[in-house]
Amino acid sequence: MRTVAAGTPALDATTVPDADVFRSLLERSGLCLARLDLQFRVVEANDDFVTQFGHSRESLLGRGFFELLHPGVHGPVRKQFDRLADGRRHRFVEYLVGIGPRQTVFSADITGVVVHDSNGELVQFVVVVNPEKGEQPNAVSVDRNRILTELDARILEGIATGESTVRLASRLFLSRQGVEYHVGTMLKKLKAPNRAALVSRAYSLGVLSVASWPPRVSKDYIK
């Protein structure tokens, strides 16, 4: 689990604030903040949040929060919200991959907290999204998501577990040159300069699931 970046406010379980006060906090924070109802729909968001996810305010409000995330991170993030909802936790920090403007993706940390009313009943969630810096110039569009063949996927999974070219070639009945060809193709597709960056980029984009070991390529990315 990732830690909250410097500058992220310390959040904890809280009671519902006055709407004008909360809106003032949202706009002055400099962070991507939003409130979600118990069905995880966005009920309020500040300008930074709206801009980060590439929607108009009108289209964002009422939208399910998970519609804004890459499918590869739905499972881990939903588990964290489930723990909030059933009272096992009051706060969480998790890694996510979000869908931004023009259907590009970005990596971020999300902090989530529960919101109670004056009677102690759970009524809403507050989320803070803290995007990683420096990714946008190399962003890969998620509307090109089915970018790997079945063989590409098996090779990528092998690289992520540390298998050598020789081992991959033997296991997949390929020549060493065949493995290198497929690796080179994936380097171009995911805009990565080397194998280590390829694996990192694949996790960042949700191509490799963040919730499984050994690594598995999401079926959403396989042709």
Per-residue pLDDT of the chain (223 residues; tens, 9 = 90+): 344 444 444 455 455 454 455 555 555 556 899 999 999 999 999 989 999 999 899 999 999 999 998 776 788 889 999 999 998 888 999 888 788 887 777 878 899 999 888 888 999 999 999 887 655 444 555 544 567 899 999 999 999 899 999 999 999 999 999 999 999 999 988 888 888 888 878 887 778 876 678 889 988 788 8
E strands along the chain, which residues? 14-15, 32-36, 42-45, 91-99, 105-116, 122-131
ω before 71 within 30° of 0 (cis)? no
pTM over 0.75: no
Joined together, the tokens standing for residue 163 give: 């298998």
CB atoms within 10 A of CB 59: 11
Quick check: 16 and 116 in contact, CB under 8 A?
yes
Q: Of 38, 32, 202, 210, which is closest to residue 110 (Cα–Cα)? A: 32
